[in-house]
Amino acid sequence: MIETESKFDPTARSSAGAIGLMQLTPGTAKGIAEATNGSRFRLSDLTDPDINVRYGAWYLEHLVQKYRDEKLALAAYNAGEQNVDSWRAAHEGIQFAETRAYVAKVEQLKTIYRRTYPKQLGY
């Protein structure tokens, strides 16, 4: 996921305002900090790889638990929960081509990493 989000650049910034390795917006990160009883959130936290990955991993796990589907969780990470919720309510699939491509790329990279690093990843 990090490769797709930021190409491993901890200083990456998107046009949507997402920051860091896992491309979190300040609003999302602040919500994660509050939900996990974190200390005072600072914008600079998002360029700290350790904090950024912890927040991103927590958020992804939250999405997996909410949607009970890895592809929907990835779609929500990319396009937002509101979009995925509206697609589900309308019984539609992922409506954004960019998000469909994002999910496919993350899934493809997951397969590559599992084949390349099976022992390190516990496979």
Count of CB atoms situated within 10 Å of the CB of 52: 24
Query: Which residue bears the tokens 């509101």?
Result: 82
CA gap 3, 8 in Å, rounded: 6
Residue 60: exposed, middle, or buried by beta-carbon count in 10 A (0-12, 13-18, 19+)?
Answer: middle
Catalytic annotation, pick one of 5, 61, 70, 98: 5
Is residue 24 classed as helix, strand or coil in its secondary structure? strand
Is 70 considered catalytic here? Answer: no
Q: Minimal CA–CA distance to 104: which of 66, 67, 78?
A: 78
Is residue 60 classed as helix, strand or coil in its secondary structure? helix
Q: Report, as residue numbers or ranges, the catalytic residues.
A: 5
